[in-house]
Amino acid sequence: MYFSFKKSLVGFLVFLQLSGVSAQQKMVVPKSYIAHKTSESISIDGKGEEASWGSAKWTSDFIDIEGAKKPRYQTRVKMLWDEKYLYFYAELEEPHVWATLKQRDTIIFYNNDFEIFIDPDGDTYNYMEFEMNALNTLWDLYLTKPYREGGKVIDNWDIKGIKTAVHINGTINNTSDIDKGWSVEIAMPWTSLIEAGDNKIPVDNYWRINFSRVNWDYQLNQDTYQRKQGANGKYLPEYNWVWSPQWVVNMHEPEWWGYVYFSSEERENSKDEFIVPLDEKIKLELYNLYRKQKEYQRKNGAWIESSQKLITSPIVIEGKEIEVMLEAHSQGWNLIVDSPFTDKQLILSEDGAFKTKTNN
């Protein structure tokens, strides 16, 4: 999506300086979705015509990555799962469907694309990114941690056994007509996904997932589509549309990704509801403090070491004041909360890694 490890180091450093939600960003809980189990055989043809797809709910329409503006074209997704695969079906409205990239693991978002980001255990480390264009060209990669913390990108990693298909509602790369859009259907094997979590399918549990769509203004070069350039010869900025807003032009802040709950019930029989756990709201507040620490460190070359200076106003969730301990050490710091809602201790460190412990 927006940032690629293949871009220049200078661009990377500027990106790190400018990215990140303001430390004063009001907490907004990410969106959620219930993905139901299916017993139906799903044919990966890009059309989503099975009965299970018909009964599955759509996500809310994508919005601008920064959360406010309504995109020019509609994008929405459905999800299902069974014992072998996690399924995705997406529809992307687009009057001019075009794509040029045909080599796997090239930078797909240089075309209009559809993207999936998956963090199984929700610690913002060890997550997966997947992109595809309208020619059904794929790019899948594995990140050890976000770019903001200097994460490594495992570009040779593949989702082994993945099945994908594209259906064009119109004609691709034809400049003489108006299309309705394109749809994608994806089956990701659990065997390739659960390695980044606790090695089991999250039945009646949730993962952190988000979706992105990159869309470019285009120009024609001898009846061939290409990204539009400005008067200075540089490409115009892309549009970034997402399911759950990131509040900044950066998909690599996994704490903002949505919650997908994997129901063991099929849709027609289900009475399932999913409510974001209150500990997740504490976690969002901890990441707000993390961004405040990072901003302070960039400006002052040191961390805030006093909890009174870091936490200037009470943190209250569901009527309970959350007590945050700031533990400074030689390598940085930890933010620690004994949750008033569970028996868990929540810990966020200076490198952005999140973990929980069970209190005895």
Same-domain check for residues 30 and 151: yes
**Residue 24: which residues within 8 A CB-CB, separation 6 or more?**
none
Is 13's pLDDT higher than 70?
A: no
Average pLDDT of span 117-125: 97
Task: Examine the fold and report which residue of 252, 269, 286 is the final residue of a domain before the chain moves on.
Answer: 269
Task: Examine the fold and report which residue of 269, 294, 314 is the final residue of a domain before the chain moves on.
Answer: 269
Within a 13 Å sphere around the CA of 195, how many CA atoms are in the beta-carbon half? Answer: 13
Same-domain check for residues 305 and 263: no
The C-alpha angle 35, 242, 202, rounded to 5 degrees, equals 25
The mean pLDDT value of the chain amounts to: 92
In a domain, 211, yes or no: yes
In a domain, 1, yes or no: no
Residue indicated by tokens 């490890």 = 5
3-state SS string over the chain? Answer: CCCCCCCCHHHHHHHHHHCCCCCCCCCCCCCEEEEEECCCCCCCCCCCCCHHHHHCCCCCCCEECCCCCCCCCCEEEEEEECCCEEEEEEEEECCCCCCCCCCCCCCHHHCCEEEEEEECCCCCCCEEEEEECCCCCEEEEEECCCHHHCCCEECCCCCCCCEEEEEEECCCCCCCCCCCEEEEEEEEEHHHHHHHCCCCCCECCEEEEEEEEEECCEEECCCCEEECECCCCCECCCEEEECCCCCCCCCCCHHHCEEEEEECCCHHHCCCCCCCCHHHHHHHHHHHHHHHHHHHHHHHCCCCCCHHHHCCCCCEECCEECCCEEEEECCEEEEEEECCCCCEEEEEECCCCEEEEECC
Same-domain check for residues 232 and 304: no
Diameter of the chain measured on Cα atoms: 70
Tell me, what's the pLDDT at 253? 97
Same-domain check for residues 293 and 352: yes
Tell me, what's the pLDDT at 17? 37
Q: What total of structural domains would you count in the chain? A: 2
61 confidence band (pLDDT: 50, 70, 90): very high
Same-domain check for residues 91 and 152: yes
Same-domain check for residues 224 and 305: no
Tell me, what's the pLDDT at 15? 37
Q: Are 38 and 82 in contact (CB under 8 A)?
A: yes
Bridge partners (DSSP) of residue 243 are: none
Average pLDDT of span 101-116: 98
In a domain, 80, yes or no: yes
Could you report the per-residue pLDDT of 346-359, keeping only the tens digit for each? 999 999 999 999 98
CA–CA gap between residue 20 and residue 250 (Å, rounded): 8
In a domain, 254, yes or no: yes
Same-domain check for residues 158 and 219: yes
Same-domain check for residues 146 and 31: yes
Q: Are 270 and 35 in contact (CB under 8 A)?
A: no
In a domain, 4, yes or no: no
In a domain, 295, yes or no: yes
Average pLDDT of span 56-60: 97
In a domain, 3, yes or no: no
Which CATH number is 200's domain given?
Answer: 2.60.40.1190
Tell me, what's the pLDDT at 25? 54
Is 14's pLDDT higher than 50?
A: no
Is 66's pLDDT higher than 70?
A: yes
Is 157's pLDDT higher than 90?
A: yes
Same-domain check for residues 109 and 81: yes
**Residue 230: which residues within 8 A CB-CB, separation 6 or more?**
236
pTM for the full predicted model: 0.92
Q: Are 184 and 114 in contact (CB under 8 A)?
A: yes
Tell me, what's the pLDDT at 97? 98
Same-domain check for residues 282 and 161: no
Tell me, what's the pLDDT at 268? 75
Domain with 292, as residue range(s), is 278-358
Could you report the per-residue pLDDT of 205-234, keeping only the tens digit for each? 999 999 999 999 999 998 999 999 999 999
Same-domain check for residues 165 and 214: yes
Could you report the per-residue pLDDT of 241-289, keeping only the tens digit for each? 999 999 999 999 999 999 999 999 998 778 889 999 999 999 999 999 9
Residue type, 171: T
Cβ-based burial of 209 (10 A; exposed 0-12, middle 13-18, buried ≥19) = buried
In a domain, 121, yes or no: yes
Bridge partners (DSSP) of residue 138 are: 132
Task: Examine the fold and report which residue of 269, 287, 305 is the final residue of a domain before the chain moves on.
Answer: 269
Could you report the per-residue pLDDT of 292-335, keeping only the tens digit for each? 999 999 999 999 999 999 999 999 999 999 999 999 998 899 99
Tell me, what's the pLDDT at 127? 98
Same-domain check for residues 248 and 292: no
Is 2's pLDDT higher than 80?
A: no
Tell me, what's the pLDDT at 8? 32
